[in-house]
Amino acid sequence: MWDYTDKVKDHFLNPRNARVIEDANAVGDVGSIICGDALRLMLKINPTTDIIEDAAFQTYGCGSAIASSSALTEMLIGKSLAEAEKITNQQIADYLGGLPAEKMHCSVMGREALDAAIANYHGKSYEHIHDEDGEIICHCFGVGANKIKKVVWENHLTTVEEVTNYTKAGGGCQSCHMRIEEIIDEVWVDLERCGVPRPGFAQTPIQGIKIATTTEKSCGCSTKGAALDAATLESPYFEKVDSVVKELNAGFTDGSSIEIQGIANNDVKLKFNGNIASGMMHDMTLNFVKSKLEALLGDQAKSLNIQA
């Protein structure tokens, strides 16, 4: 039997905002009754201020799906769209005091419904703001490769069981387990490139990239010896930015590095070198730098304009 927190039980037995908003201007539909869970999220957004003035839901699913949907509506009311877009599935679970591992897919469904509603508000379909789901990996539940990659990346999942808990993929005939393991390994290669150590694994060498064999340890320098101006060194953000850059540089194994170019007021200019300097790796590394600074600076990080 799963162990539910008191807050999960409360939101299941006394769901908030389980109703219809007749004049909703943002509606997101996700899931499938055939697969066991479906959710409609309705938002009333002020078109002048982009503030979410009301949020409600209708759902078909288990108690965790009802509780997650209820919690999400409470989290959304009063927030701006920019703030709402930053809500993660883990934050929905945390709001409830945690969810059983086997029920994390309910918080993921809530996050997807929010994406779909915001897309609808902007006159787009959910598919327009996301890549196609890609190759269907789990035919039992219709889960594609891109959804699996996304949850592995965002939640640092390491096993097929965890992927099943977050997406239901692999929970049927199990014929897709080998392919899910391959996707997990593929995503972790990119995570390691961004300096995230995979639990229980040695750092993965990147094929086609020469790994330094010198025994001299890298200093993890953030400036490559370049002199920084006084404004940068005196910035209240310099120490935190410098610590994040040094931490990531120490984790790169493919010759990539990050340099601090300068900090002026709230503008932080970085330089990416090597494999992280372009394409998907550039974007993922920049997002990872931002998330690390948010963890260190809290709300102060929201005012930073970080460029690379």
Q: Is 43 helix (H, G, I), strand (E, B) or coil?
A: strand
Lowest mean pLDDT among 59-63, 122-126, 303-307: 122-126
**Positive/negative CA dihedral, 200, 216, 228, 234:** positive
Whether the CB-CB separation of 92 and 75 falls below 8 Å is answered with yes
Concerning whether 35 is annotated as a catalytic residue, the answer is yes
Question: Would you say residue 105 has pLDDT above 70?
Answer: yes
Lowest mean pLDDT among 36-45, 99-108, 114-123, 139-148: 139-148
pLDDT given at position 213 = 34
Catalytic site residue from 106, 138, 176, 194: 106
Task: Return the number of other C-beta atoms located less than 10 Å from residue 241's C-beta.
Answer: 24
| Structure-token pair, residue 272 | 């990416």
For residue 178, CA distances in Å to 102, 119, 208, 269 come to 20, 34, 25, 42
Query: How far is residue 23 CA from its own chain's centroid?
Result: 30
CA distance 56 to 258: 44
pLDDT given at position 224 = 52
Catalytic site residue from 35, 62, 140, 221: 35
CA distance 147 to 187: 12
For residue 235, CA distances in Å to 75, 284, 295 come to 34, 26, 18
Question: Would you say residue 131 has pLDDT above 60?
Answer: no
pTM: 0.55
298: left (phi over 0), alpha (psi -120 to 50) or beta: left
Q: What is the pLDDT of residues 196-209, one digit of tens each?
A: 888 876 555 544 43
Q: What is the pLDDT of residues 15-62, one digit of tens each?
A: 999 999 999 999 998 876 555 678 899 999 999 999 999 999 998 878
Cα angle 99-163-249, degrees, rounded to a multiple of 5: 100
> How many Cα atoms are found within 13 Å in the side-chain-facing hemisphere of 106?
27
The one-letter code for the residue type at 306 is I
Lowest mean pLDDT among 53-67, 132-146, 177-191, 200-214: 200-214
4: left (phi over 0), alpha (psi -120 to 50) or beta: beta
Q: Is 25 helix (H, G, I), strand (E, B) or coil?
A: coil
Q: Is 262 helix (H, G, I), strand (E, B) or coil?
A: strand
Would you call 235 exposed, middle or buried from its count of C-beta atoms within 10 A (0-12, 13-18, 19+)?
A: buried
Class of domain 230-307: alpha beta
Segment 285-293 mean pLDDT: 79
Q: Is 103 helix (H, G, I), strand (E, B) or coil?
A: helix
Domain ranges of the chain: 6-128, 136-193, 230-307
**Domain 6-128: which topology?**
Sufe protein. Chain: A (3.90.1010)
- Fold agreement between 6-128 and 136-193: no
The one-letter code for the residue type at 241 is V
| First-to-last C-alpha distance (Å) of the chain | 49
Segment 233-252 mean pLDDT: 83
Mean pLDDT of the chain: 81
Q: What is the CATH number of domain 136-193?
A: 1.10.10.1100
